[in-house]
Protein backbone atom coordinates (compact mmCIF):
# COMPACT_ATOMS: atom_id res chain seq x y z
CA UNK A 1 0.00 0.00 0.00
CA UNK A 2 1.24 3.48 -0.87
CA UNK A 3 2.21 5.97 1.84
CA UNK A 4 -0.15 8.76 0.79
CA UNK A 5 -3.25 8.08 -1.27
CA UNK A 6 -5.74 10.55 -2.66
CA UNK A 7 -8.87 8.77 -3.87
CA UNK A 8 -11.61 10.42 -5.95
CA UNK A 9 -10.91 13.82 -4.40
CA UNK A 10 -13.43 16.51 -5.31
CA UNK A 11 -13.59 20.10 -4.18
CA UNK A 12 -16.22 22.74 -4.86
CA UNK A 13 -16.40 26.29 -3.60
CA UNK A 14 -20.13 27.06 -3.75
CA UNK A 15 -21.33 26.04 -7.20
CA UNK A 16 -17.82 26.02 -8.69
CA UNK A 17 -15.99 22.69 -8.81
CA UNK A 18 -12.25 23.36 -8.74
CA UNK A 19 -10.95 19.78 -8.27
CA UNK A 20 -12.49 16.89 -10.22
CA UNK A 21 -12.00 13.27 -9.24
CA UNK A 22 -8.32 13.45 -8.38
CA UNK A 23 -6.56 10.12 -7.79
CA UNK A 24 -2.95 9.52 -6.86
CA UNK A 25 -0.83 7.10 -4.87
CA UNK A 26 2.45 8.51 -3.54
CA UNK A 27 5.22 6.28 -2.22
CA UNK A 28 7.20 6.94 0.94
CA UNK A 29 10.13 9.26 0.24
CA UNK A 30 8.84 10.40 -3.14
CA UNK A 31 9.21 14.01 -4.28
CA UNK A 32 6.07 14.95 -6.22
CA UNK A 33 5.51 18.26 -8.00
CA UNK A 34 2.10 19.64 -8.86
CA UNK A 35 2.61 21.73 -11.97
CA UNK A 36 0.02 23.85 -13.73
CA UNK A 37 -1.14 27.35 -14.56
CA UNK A 38 -2.67 29.71 -12.03
CA UNK A 39 -6.09 28.60 -10.80
CA UNK A 40 -5.84 24.94 -11.85
CA UNK A 41 -6.33 23.65 -8.29
CA UNK A 42 -2.78 22.81 -7.16
CA UNK A 43 -2.89 24.76 -3.93
CA UNK A 44 -6.40 23.54 -3.15
CA UNK A 45 -5.21 19.90 -3.24
CA UNK A 46 -2.23 20.76 -1.05
CA UNK A 47 -4.50 22.51 1.45
CA UNK A 48 -6.79 19.48 1.56
CA UNK A 49 -3.82 17.23 2.38
CA UNK A 50 -2.81 19.69 5.13
CA UNK A 51 -6.37 19.80 6.47
CA UNK A 52 -6.96 23.52 5.81
CA UNK A 53 -9.72 22.67 3.32
CA UNK A 54 -12.22 19.81 3.54
CA UNK A 55 -12.75 17.76 0.36
CA UNK A 56 -16.31 17.79 -0.99
CA UNK A 57 -15.78 14.10 -1.77
CA UNK A 58 -13.14 11.39 -1.67
CA UNK A 59 -10.57 10.31 0.87
CA UNK A 60 -7.00 11.12 1.90
CA UNK A 61 -5.05 8.36 3.63
CA UNK A 62 -1.55 8.88 5.04
CA UNK A 63 0.42 5.94 6.37
CA UNK A 64 -2.73 3.81 6.57
CA UNK A 65 -4.78 6.40 8.41
CA UNK A 66 -7.79 8.23 6.97
CA UNK A 67 -7.24 11.94 7.59
CA UNK A 68 -10.85 13.17 7.38
CA UNK A 69 -11.39 13.37 11.14
CA UNK A 70 -7.99 14.97 11.85
CA UNK A 71 -7.41 18.70 12.29
CA UNK A 72 -4.33 20.26 10.61
CA UNK A 73 -2.28 20.14 13.82
CA UNK A 74 -3.05 16.43 14.28
CA UNK A 75 -1.74 15.42 10.85
CA UNK A 76 1.98 15.76 11.52
CA UNK A 77 2.60 17.64 8.31
CA UNK A 78 5.23 20.32 7.70
CA UNK A 79 4.44 23.21 5.40
CA UNK A 80 6.37 26.01 3.69
CA UNK A 81 4.53 28.79 1.88
CA UNK A 82 5.42 31.26 -0.85
CA UNK A 83 5.60 34.28 1.44
CA UNK A 84 8.15 34.06 4.23
CA UNK A 85 5.80 33.16 7.03
CA UNK A 86 8.39 33.39 9.81
CA UNK A 87 7.37 34.98 13.10
CA UNK A 88 8.94 38.47 12.79
CA UNK A 89 9.32 38.98 16.54
CA UNK A 90 11.24 35.72 17.07
CA UNK A 91 14.86 35.03 16.19
CA UNK A 92 15.85 32.14 13.94
CA UNK A 93 16.37 29.72 16.82
CA UNK A 94 12.91 30.42 18.27
CA UNK A 95 11.27 30.21 14.87
CA UNK A 96 12.72 26.75 14.27
CA UNK A 97 11.95 25.69 17.86
CA UNK A 98 8.32 26.82 17.63
CA UNK A 99 6.65 23.52 16.65
CA UNK A 100 8.73 21.59 19.17
CA UNK A 101 7.77 23.97 22.00
CA UNK A 102 4.08 23.69 21.11
CA UNK A 103 4.45 19.90 21.24
CA UNK A 104 5.97 20.16 24.75
CA UNK A 105 9.37 18.77 23.77
CA UNK A 106 11.95 18.94 26.62
CA UNK A 107 14.32 21.93 26.41
CA UNK A 108 17.53 19.95 25.90
CA UNK A 109 15.96 18.01 23.07
CA UNK A 110 14.73 21.23 21.45
CA UNK A 111 18.26 22.69 21.54
CA UNK A 112 19.71 19.58 19.95
CA UNK A 113 17.06 19.37 17.25
CA UNK A 114 17.18 23.08 16.34
CA UNK A 115 20.97 22.88 16.04
CA UNK A 116 20.62 19.84 13.78
CA UNK A 117 18.11 21.70 11.61
CA UNK A 118 20.23 24.87 11.37
CA UNK A 119 23.23 22.77 10.36
CA UNK A 120 21.09 21.03 7.75
CA UNK A 121 20.25 24.37 6.09
CA UNK A 122 23.81 25.71 6.61
CA UNK A 123 22.67 28.55 8.88
CA UNK A 124 24.12 27.23 12.13
CA UNK A 125 25.77 30.58 12.82
CA UNK A 126 22.63 32.71 12.42
CA UNK A 127 20.43 31.43 15.27
CA UNK A 128 20.32 34.86 16.94
CA UNK A 129 19.27 36.78 13.84
CA UNK A 130 15.76 38.08 13.28
CA UNK A 131 13.90 37.54 9.98
CA UNK A 132 14.27 41.21 8.93
CA UNK A 133 18.05 40.80 9.12
CA UNK A 134 18.08 37.99 6.55
CA UNK A 135 17.76 37.64 2.77
CA UNK A 136 14.67 36.07 1.23
CA UNK A 137 16.56 32.86 0.45
CA UNK A 138 17.83 32.59 4.04
CA UNK A 139 14.33 33.17 5.38
CA UNK A 140 12.93 30.38 3.21
CA UNK A 141 15.65 28.02 4.46
CA UNK A 142 14.64 28.88 8.02
CA UNK A 143 10.98 28.25 7.07
CA UNK A 144 12.07 24.84 5.77
CA UNK A 145 13.98 24.08 8.98
CA UNK A 146 10.96 25.13 11.05
CA UNK A 147 8.68 22.83 9.02
CA UNK A 148 11.09 19.89 9.35
CA UNK A 149 12.00 20.29 13.04
CA UNK A 150 9.03 18.32 14.45
CA UNK A 151 9.86 15.39 12.10
CA UNK A 152 6.69 15.57 10.00
CA UNK A 153 5.57 12.52 8.05
CA UNK A 154 4.87 14.64 4.95
CA UNK A 155 6.36 17.94 3.74
CA UNK A 156 4.18 20.31 1.68
CA UNK A 157 5.83 23.17 -0.21
CA UNK A 158 3.55 25.77 -1.80
CA UNK A 159 5.56 27.76 -4.37
CA UNK A 160 8.32 28.32 -1.80
CA UNK A 161 10.72 29.80 -4.37
CA UNK A 162 8.50 32.11 -6.35
CA UNK A 163 9.38 35.29 -4.44
CA UNK A 164 13.14 34.80 -4.92
CA UNK A 165 15.63 35.93 -7.57
CA UNK A 166 16.28 33.53 -10.45
CA UNK A 167 19.78 32.54 -9.26
CA UNK A 168 18.73 31.88 -5.67
CA UNK A 169 15.73 29.92 -6.91
CA UNK A 170 17.96 27.47 -8.73
CA UNK A 171 20.40 26.95 -5.85
CA UNK A 172 17.63 26.67 -3.25
CA UNK A 173 15.60 24.16 -5.25
CA UNK A 174 18.68 21.95 -5.44
CA UNK A 175 19.23 22.36 -1.72
CA UNK A 176 15.59 21.45 -1.00
CA UNK A 177 15.94 18.32 -3.11
CA UNK A 178 19.18 17.31 -1.36
CA UNK A 179 17.65 17.78 2.08
CA UNK A 180 14.50 15.90 1.05
CA UNK A 181 16.58 12.96 -0.18
CA UNK A 182 18.80 12.98 2.88
CA UNK A 183 15.78 12.80 5.19
CA UNK A 184 13.76 10.56 2.85
CA UNK A 185 10.67 12.64 3.55
CA UNK A 186 7.58 12.30 1.34
CA UNK A 187 7.16 15.71 -0.28
CA UNK A 188 4.61 17.55 -2.43
CA UNK A 189 5.85 20.70 -4.12
CA UNK A 190 3.48 23.11 -5.87
CA UNK A 191 4.84 25.22 -8.71
CA UNK A 192 3.85 26.80 -12.00
CA UNK A 193 7.47 26.70 -13.18
CA UNK A 194 8.03 23.70 -15.44
CA UNK A 195 11.82 23.76 -15.24
CA UNK A 196 11.60 23.69 -11.46
CA UNK A 197 9.22 20.73 -11.51
CA UNK A 198 11.20 18.74 -14.09
CA UNK A 199 14.56 19.31 -12.43
CA UNK A 200 13.89 18.10 -8.88
CA UNK A 201 10.93 15.71 -8.90
CA UNK A 202 10.57 11.95 -8.90
CA UNK A 203 7.17 12.42 -10.53
CA UNK A 204 5.25 15.41 -11.82
CA UNK A 205 1.47 15.88 -11.84
CA UNK A 206 0.44 18.23 -14.65
CA UNK A 207 -2.82 19.87 -13.61
CA UNK A 208 -5.28 21.40 -16.04
CA UNK A 209 -8.55 22.97 -14.84
CA UNK A 210 -8.89 20.86 -11.70
CA UNK A 211 -7.83 17.58 -13.28
CA UNK A 212 -4.56 15.70 -13.56
CA UNK A 213 -3.82 15.58 -17.29
CA UNK A 214 -0.78 13.40 -16.68
CA UNK A 215 1.20 11.91 -13.81
CA UNK A 216 4.67 10.69 -14.72
CA UNK A 217 8.42 11.02 -14.33
CA UNK A 218 9.92 14.24 -15.71
CA UNK A 219 11.29 12.17 -18.61
CA UNK A 220 7.84 10.76 -19.44
CA UNK A 221 6.07 14.10 -19.09
CA UNK A 222 8.51 15.80 -21.43
CA UNK A 223 9.02 13.04 -23.98
CA UNK A 224 5.60 11.37 -23.96
CA UNK A 225 3.08 14.11 -23.15
CA UNK A 226 -0.38 12.53 -22.78
CA UNK A 227 -2.36 15.53 -23.99
CA UNK A 228 -1.94 18.61 -26.11
CA UNK A 229 -2.12 20.70 -22.93
CA UNK A 230 0.79 18.83 -21.32
CA UNK A 231 2.78 18.97 -24.54
CA UNK A 232 2.43 22.72 -24.87
CA UNK A 233 2.64 23.63 -21.16
CA UNK A 234 5.87 21.72 -20.60
CA UNK A 235 8.72 22.91 -22.80
CA UNK A 236 8.62 24.37 -26.30
CA UNK A 237 6.76 22.45 -28.93
CA UNK A 238 6.11 22.45 -32.65
CA UNK A 239 2.56 21.67 -33.71
CA UNK A 240 2.68 20.34 -37.23
CA UNK A 241 -0.32 19.62 -39.44
CA UNK A 242 0.13 16.54 -41.60
CA UNK A 243 -2.12 15.08 -44.29
CA UNK A 244 -2.99 11.41 -43.92
CA UNK A 245 -1.96 9.28 -46.91
CA UNK A 246 -2.78 5.81 -45.58
CA UNK A 247 -4.16 5.36 -42.04
CA UNK A 248 -3.50 1.59 -42.13
CA UNK A 249 0.27 2.09 -42.40
CA UNK A 250 0.47 5.43 -40.58
CA UNK A 251 1.71 7.21 -43.73
CA UNK A 252 1.34 10.98 -43.71
CA UNK A 253 2.68 13.90 -45.71
CA UNK A 254 4.33 17.04 -44.35
CA UNK A 255 5.10 19.52 -47.15
CA UNK A 256 6.47 17.39 -49.99
CA UNK A 257 7.78 14.63 -47.71
CA UNK A 258 5.91 11.39 -47.08
CA UNK A 259 6.77 9.48 -43.92
CA UNK A 260 5.49 6.65 -41.77
CA UNK A 261 4.50 7.47 -38.19
CA UNK A 262 5.05 5.02 -35.33
CA UNK A 263 1.73 5.96 -33.69
CA UNK A 264 -1.65 4.95 -35.12
CA UNK A 265 -3.60 7.57 -37.05
CA UNK A 266 -7.34 7.95 -36.44
CA UNK A 267 -8.19 10.19 -39.43
CA UNK A 268 -9.15 8.86 -42.91
CA UNK A 269 -6.97 9.25 -46.02
CA UNK A 270 -6.89 12.94 -47.00
CA UNK A 271 -7.74 14.02 -43.43
CA UNK A 272 -5.47 16.03 -41.16
CA UNK A 273 -3.58 14.99 -38.04
CA UNK A 274 -1.75 17.21 -35.56
CA UNK A 275 1.78 16.14 -34.74
CA UNK A 276 3.97 17.42 -31.93
CA UNK A 277 7.74 17.71 -32.17
CA UNK A 278 10.30 19.21 -29.77
CA UNK A 279 12.77 21.71 -31.26
CA UNK A 280 15.74 19.57 -30.23
CA UNK A 281 14.42 16.61 -32.26
CA UNK A 282 15.48 18.16 -35.59
CA UNK A 283 19.00 18.57 -36.92
CA UNK A 284 20.79 19.84 -40.01
CA UNK A 285 23.84 17.74 -39.18
CA UNK A 286 24.66 14.33 -40.65
CA UNK A 287 25.18 11.35 -38.40
CA UNK A 288 22.21 11.78 -36.17
CA UNK A 289 19.57 9.01 -36.01
CA UNK A 290 16.94 10.01 -38.55
CA UNK A 291 14.70 8.40 -41.14
CA UNK A 292 13.10 11.48 -42.70
CA UNK A 293 14.18 14.77 -44.23
CA UNK A 294 11.95 17.86 -44.34
CA UNK A 295 12.80 20.55 -46.87
CA UNK A 296 11.99 24.20 -46.34
CA UNK A 297 13.12 27.80 -46.10
CA UNK A 298 14.54 29.50 -43.03
CA UNK A 299 12.20 32.24 -41.78
CA UNK A 300 14.18 33.24 -38.66
CA UNK A 301 17.32 32.27 -36.80
CA UNK A 302 18.19 33.39 -33.29
CA UNK A 303 21.55 32.93 -31.64
CA UNK A 304 20.84 32.15 -27.98
CA UNK A 305 24.40 31.34 -26.86
CA UNK A 306 24.72 27.61 -26.41
CA UNK A 307 21.99 26.92 -28.97
CA UNK A 308 20.70 28.47 -32.17
CA UNK A 309 16.93 28.33 -32.58
CA UNK A 310 15.89 28.39 -36.20
CA UNK A 311 12.40 28.45 -37.70
CA UNK A 312 11.69 27.08 -41.14
CA UNK A 313 8.60 26.87 -43.32
CA UNK A 314 7.65 23.37 -44.44
CA UNK A 315 4.49 23.30 -46.59
CA UNK A 316 2.76 26.00 -44.52
CA UNK A 317 3.97 24.71 -41.15
CA UNK A 318 6.51 26.71 -39.20
CA UNK A 319 8.90 24.29 -37.54
CA UNK A 320 11.46 25.36 -34.93
CA UNK A 321 14.62 23.40 -34.38
CA UNK A 322 17.64 23.87 -32.13
CA UNK A 323 21.26 23.33 -32.96
CA UNK A 324 24.12 23.41 -30.50
CA UNK A 325 26.47 26.31 -31.16
CA UNK A 326 29.56 25.17 -33.03
CA UNK A 327 32.10 27.99 -33.48
CA UNK A 328 33.31 26.28 -36.68
CA UNK A 329 29.87 26.26 -38.37
CA UNK A 330 27.97 29.38 -39.49
CA UNK A 331 24.35 29.43 -38.35
CA UNK A 332 21.58 29.32 -41.01
CA UNK A 333 20.34 32.67 -42.28
CA UNK A 334 16.87 33.81 -43.33
CA UNK A 335 16.03 32.65 -46.86
CA UNK A 336 18.38 29.63 -46.83
CA UNK A 337 16.91 26.39 -48.11
CA UNK A 338 17.65 23.69 -45.55
CA UNK A 339 17.12 19.96 -45.13
CA UNK A 340 16.02 19.09 -41.59
CA UNK A 341 16.70 15.55 -40.49
CA UNK A 342 14.16 14.08 -38.09
CA UNK A 343 13.24 10.66 -36.79
CA UNK A 344 9.59 9.71 -37.22
CA UNK A 345 9.68 8.29 -33.67
CA UNK A 346 10.03 11.89 -32.43
CA UNK A 347 6.71 12.90 -34.01
CA UNK A 348 3.85 12.34 -31.58
CA UNK A 349 0.27 12.12 -32.78
CA UNK A 350 -1.87 14.34 -30.53
CA UNK A 351 -5.12 12.52 -29.82
CA UNK A 352 -7.09 15.32 -28.16
N1 LIG B 1 -11.66 29.75 -0.54
C2 LIG B 1 -12.03 29.83 -1.83
N3 LIG B 1 -13.26 30.25 -2.18
C4 LIG B 1 -13.63 30.29 -3.48
N5 LIG B 1 -12.84 29.93 -4.51
C6 LIG B 1 -11.62 29.51 -4.22
C7 LIG B 1 -11.13 29.43 -2.87
N8 LIG B 1 -9.85 28.96 -2.90
C9 LIG B 1 -9.56 28.76 -4.21
N10 LIG B 1 -10.60 29.08 -5.00
C11 LIG B 1 -10.66 28.96 -6.47
O12 LIG B 1 -10.31 27.64 -6.81
C13 LIG B 1 -9.54 27.60 -8.03
C14 LIG B 1 -8.25 26.86 -7.77
O15 LIG B 1 -7.43 27.64 -6.91
P16 LIG B 1 -5.97 27.18 -6.44
O17 LIG B 1 -5.46 28.22 -5.49
O18 LIG B 1 -6.03 25.79 -5.97
O19 LIG B 1 -5.19 27.26 -7.81
P20 LIG B 1 -3.64 27.12 -8.06
O21 LIG B 1 -3.49 26.16 -9.19
O22 LIG B 1 -2.90 26.82 -6.82
O23 LIG B 1 -3.30 28.58 -8.59
P24 LIG B 1 -2.17 29.61 -8.11
O25 LIG B 1 -0.90 29.14 -8.74
O26 LIG B 1 -2.67 30.91 -8.70
O27 LIG B 1 -2.18 29.60 -6.62
C28 LIG B 1 -9.38 29.05 -8.45
O29 LIG B 1 -10.31 29.35 -9.43
C30 LIG B 1 -9.64 29.83 -7.16
O31 LIG B 1 -10.16 31.10 -7.48
Q: What's the pLDDT tens digit per position in 181-208? A: 999 999 999 999 999 999 999 999 999 9
Res 110 pLDDT > 80: yes
> Best of 10, 17, 40 to mutate for ligand 1, by most ligand atoms within 8 A of CB?
40
More confident residue, 125 or 12: 12
> For 22-49, how does the pLDDT look when each residue is reduced to its tens digit (9 = 90+)?
999 999 999 999 999 999 999 999 999 9
Q: What is the pLDDT, as a whole number, of residue 152?
A: 95
Q: How far is the CA of 19 from the centre of ligand 1 (A)?
A: 10
Question: Complex ipTM above 0.90?
Answer: yes
Q: Which residues of 42-53 are buried (b: 16+ CB within 10 A; e: fewer)?
A: bbbbbbbbbbeb
- Could you give the CA distance from residue 88 to residue 23 in angstroms, rounded to a whole number? 38
Q: What is the pLDDT, as a whole number, of residue 352?
A: 63
Rg of the chain taking only CA atoms, in angstroms: 25
CATH architecture of 4-233: 3-Layer(aba) Sandwich (3.40)
What is the residue extent of each domain of the chain?
4-233, 238-349
Is 43 near ligand 1, meaning CB less than 6 Å away?
yes
16, with CB counted inside 10 A (0-12, 13-18, 19+), is exposed
Q: How far is the CA of 211 from the centre of ligand 1 (A)?
A: 13
Smallest CA-to-CA distance from 235 within 244, 243, 224 is with 224
Is 52 near ligand 1, meaning CB less than 6 Å away?
no
Q: How confident is the model at residue 351 (pLDDT cuts 50, 70, 90)?
A: low
> For 285-334, how does the pLDDT look when each residue is reduced to its tens digit (9 = 90+)?
776 788 899 999 999 999 988 999 999 999 899 999 998 888 888 889 99
Res 171 pLDDT > 80: yes
> For 261-282, how does the pLDDT look when each residue is reduced to its tens digit (9 = 90+)?
988 888 889 999 989 899 988 8
> For 120-161, how does the pLDDT look when each residue is reduced to its tens digit (9 = 90+)?
998 888 888 999 999 999 999 999 999 999 999 999 999 999
Q: How far is the CA of 162 from the centre of ligand 1 (A)?
A: 17
Is 191 near ligand 1, meaning CB less than 6 Å away?
no
Residue 156 pairs with which residues in a beta bridge? 79, 188
Q: What is the pLDDT, as a whole number, of residue 31?
A: 98
Is 219 near ligand 1, meaning CB less than 6 Å away?
no
Res 101 pLDDT > 80: yes
CATH level 3 topology of 238-349? OB fold (Dihydrolipoamide Acetyltransferase, E2P) (2.40.50)
Amino acid sequence: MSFLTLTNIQKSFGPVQVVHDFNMAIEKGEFISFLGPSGCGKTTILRMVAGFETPTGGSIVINGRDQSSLKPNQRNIGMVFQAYALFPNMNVFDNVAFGLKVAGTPKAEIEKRVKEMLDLIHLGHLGERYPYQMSGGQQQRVALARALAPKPQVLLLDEPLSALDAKIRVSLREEIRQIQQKLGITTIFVTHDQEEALSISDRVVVMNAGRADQIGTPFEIYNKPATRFVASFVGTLNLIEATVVDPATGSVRIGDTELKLRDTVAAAAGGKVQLAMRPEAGSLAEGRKSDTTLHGQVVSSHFLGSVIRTRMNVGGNTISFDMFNDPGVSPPVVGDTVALKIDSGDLLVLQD
